[in-house]
């Protein structure tokens, strides 16, 4: 029968784990240290990154574009593919998964995060999926990879293709779990070495996590589980306890946190991609190789908490322009055959975007683009009506250099005509022609 730990017991376990070595992938702590980023705010880690999930707005970037080890954070790529296969109907949660000798042996390798798998026992896709995300069970991921692709190397090819489809070009992926290849024996990916590990940038991790949450939000129903029994109907049941200490009941609990994935190896150090929801906004944070992990097993979570608070406290959505704002270098356009020869133009509507507290919303870059079917050589043809749209303007904050995960994101509003101008009558046009003639003559 499934049983859950009480909140008191979860806290007790967390306290005990804080006083003893904690390993998610291998029995080591981070040996590398990362210098603190200069400025008023920095994260004690080799890399840190934060985004708004819905828009993909980058809220913080500390060495976020440098590929580095990600350890078991890898599993968010693998589980995305599992969810995709289920969604396509190629896989069912109740499908049974055969356990190969490779997966079975890996599941009992000392010092690795796992649940015990036996060739003679029966496990479902859901069993192994939950074990992969809650317990960070490395062999469970391997078993799922073999179920889907026939072999782990074939599954790695699927992972690589998925990353490329997302525009991630510089990733290094050599296995499905995030382990160092030294644990895989003869099962390593062709062309990789026995010392290789998976490497992505913090930005790339954020891209993967965003796709996972947006495409399959049900992932959060699993990642928020604090503990769960595995293999209840087998000869070797075990209780899984989530490695994410920021969940309710753990020592680093933070309200609103419901995922996502930890990872630790000697190369990668202590890593965590987290997600938190507050006041209707969800963010994703990435911390790679938390500097103080060797002294503080909670370091990755402490730094994640700082990054989450920074993201929520320093960014908000604001209107950065007003209806009727004048456009630099396009204050007026000429009017052909109109009662007036020029007309002013302006922004049709205000634009709302993410603004950091220290940014000046008056310092804008406004790039207008007129519709060349309406505006020809800087001229519109009368009659024109107030509110007529003649193009679009793209706005951006000069002080915001962080951008978006998707560079195609633009903040645009229409460019409108400010007043109605009727077509001039024959006499007005004739007089204007005579005046122009003499003006040009003299």
The per-residue pLDDT for 235 is 87
Which pLDDT band, with edges at 50, 70 and 90, does 407 fall under? Answer: confident
Rounded average pLDDT over 420-441: 68
Which pLDDT band, with edges at 50, 70 and 90, does 321 fall under? Answer: confident
Residues of the chain above pLDDT 90, percent: 81
- Residue 25 clears pLDDT 80, i.e. is over it: no
Rounded average pLDDT over 325-346: 91
What residues does 57 pair with on adjacent strands? 404
Count CB-CB contacts under 10 A for residue 442. Answer: 5
| Window from 56-65, 179-188, 431-440 with minimum mean pLDDT | 431-440
**Could you read off the pLDDT of 79-127 as tens digits, one per residue?**
999 999 999 999 999 999 999 999 999 999 999 999 999 999 999 999 9
Average pLDDT of the residues of the chain? 90
**Could you read off the pLDDT of 250-305 as tens digits, one per residue?**
999 999 999 999 999 999 999 999 999 999 999 999 999 999 999 999 999 999 99
**Could you read off the pLDDT of 36-81 as tens digits, one per residue?**
333 489 999 999 999 999 999 999 999 999 999 999 999 999 999 9
**Could you read off the pLDDT of 140-151 as tens digits, one per residue?**
999 999 999 999
Rounded average pLDDT over 373-400: 95
CA-CA distance, 82 to 93, in Å (whole number)?
Answer: 10
Which pLDDT band, with edges at 50, 70 and 90, does 35 fall under? Answer: very low
Which pLDDT band, with edges at 50, 70 and 90, does 195 fall under? Answer: very high
Query: Could you state, in order of their start, the residue ranges of all structural domains in the chain?
Result: 7-315, 320-427
Is pTM beyond 0.85 here? yes
Which pLDDT band, with edges at 50, 70 and 90, does 437 fall under? Answer: low
- Residue 440 clears pLDDT 80, i.e. is over it: no
What residues does 275 pair with on adjacent strands? 259, 284
The per-residue pLDDT for 434 is 62
CA-CA distance, 100 to 120, in Å (whole number)?
Answer: 10
Distance of CA 386 to CAs 212, 375, 389, Å?
46, 15, 9
Instruction: Please list, in sequence order, all residues whose beta carbon lies within 8 angstroms of the beta carbon of residue 439, skipping any fewer than 6 positions away.
Output: none
Rounded average pLDDT over 385-407: 95
The per-residue pLDDT for 408 is 84
What residues does 380 pair with on adjacent strands? 335
Kindly report whether the peptide bond that precedes residue 315 is cis, defined as omega within 30 degrees of 0. Answer: no
Q: Yes or no: is domain 7-315 CATH 3.40.710.10?
A: yes
What is the radius of gyration, based on Cα positions, of the chain? 29
- Residue 206 clears pLDDT 70, i.e. is over it: yes
Which pLDDT band, with edges at 50, 70 and 90, does 136 fall under? Answer: very high
Count CB-CB contacts under 10 A for residue 211. Answer: 18
- Residue 425 clears pLDDT 90, i.e. is over it: no
Pairing of strands 281-290, 269-278: antiparallel
What residues are annotated to the active site? 72, 75, 136
Rounded average pLDDT over 194-213: 98
The per-residue pLDDT for 428 is 62
- Residue 390 clears pLDDT 90, i.e. is over it: yes
Rounded average pLDDT over 170-189: 97
The per-residue pLDDT for 17 is 44
Question: Token pair for residue 99?
Answer: 């356990």
The per-residue pLDDT for 441 is 55
Phi/psi at 107 (nearest 5 deg)? -70, -15
Residue listed under structure tokens 């409108």? 416
- Residue 30 clears pLDDT 50, i.e. is over it: no
Q: Yes or no: is domain 320-427 CATH 2.60.410.10?
A: yes
């Amino acid at each position: 029968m499934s049983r859950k730990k009480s909140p008191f017991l979860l806290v007790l376990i967390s306290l005990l784990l804080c006083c003893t070595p904690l390993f998610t992938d291998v029995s080591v702590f981070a040996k590398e240290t990362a210098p603190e980023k200069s400025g008023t705010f920095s994260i004690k880690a080799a890399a840190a990154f934060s985004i708004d999930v819905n828009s993909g707005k980058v809220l913080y970037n500390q060495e976020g574009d440098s590929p580095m080890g990600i350890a078991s954070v890898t599993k968010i790529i693998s589980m995305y593919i599992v969810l995709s296969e289920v969604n396509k109907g190629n896989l069912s949660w109740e499908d049974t998964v055969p356990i190969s000798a490779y997966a079975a042996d890996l599941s009992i390798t000392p010092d690795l995060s796992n649940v015990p798998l036996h060739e003679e026992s029966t496990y479902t896709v859901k069993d192994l999926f939950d074990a992969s995300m809650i317990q960070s069970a490395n062999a469970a991921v391997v078993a799922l990879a073999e179920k889907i692709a026939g072999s782990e190397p074939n599954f790695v090819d699927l992972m690589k293709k998925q990353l490329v489809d997302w525009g991630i070009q510089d990733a290094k992926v050599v296995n499905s779990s995030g382990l160092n290849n030294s644990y895989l024996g003869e099962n390593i990916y062709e062309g990789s070495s026995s010392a290789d590990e998976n490497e992505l940038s913090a930005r790339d991790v954020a891209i993967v996590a965003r796709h996972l949450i947006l495409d399959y939000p049900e992932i959060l129903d699993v990642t928020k589980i604090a503990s769960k029994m595995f293999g209840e109907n087998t000869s070797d049941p075990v209780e899984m306890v989530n490695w994410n200490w920021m969940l309710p009941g753990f020592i680093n609990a933070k309200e609103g946190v419901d995922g996502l994935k930890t990872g630790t190896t000697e190369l990668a150090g202590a890593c965590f991609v987290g997600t938190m929801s507050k006041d209707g906004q969800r963010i994703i944070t990435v911390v790679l190789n938390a500097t103080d992990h060797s002294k503080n097993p909670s370091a990755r979570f402490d730094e994640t908490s700082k990054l989450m608070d920074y993201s929520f406290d320093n960014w908000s959505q604001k209107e950065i322009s007003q209806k009727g704002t004048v456009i630099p270098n396009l204050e007026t356009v000429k009017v052909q055959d109109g009662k007036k020869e020029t007309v002013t133009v302006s922004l049709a509507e205000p634009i709302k975007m993410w603004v950091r507290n220290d940014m000046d919303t008056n310092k804008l870059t406004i790039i207008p683009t007129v519709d060349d079917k309406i505006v020809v050589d800087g001229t519109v043809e009368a009659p024109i009506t107030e509110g007529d749209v003649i193009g679009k303007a793209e706005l951006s904050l000069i002080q915001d250099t962080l951008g978006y995960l998707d560079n195609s994101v633009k903040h645009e509003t229409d460019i409108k005509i400010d007043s109605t101008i009727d077509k001039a009558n024959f006499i007005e046009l004739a007089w204007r022609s005579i005046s122009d003639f003499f003006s040009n003559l003299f």
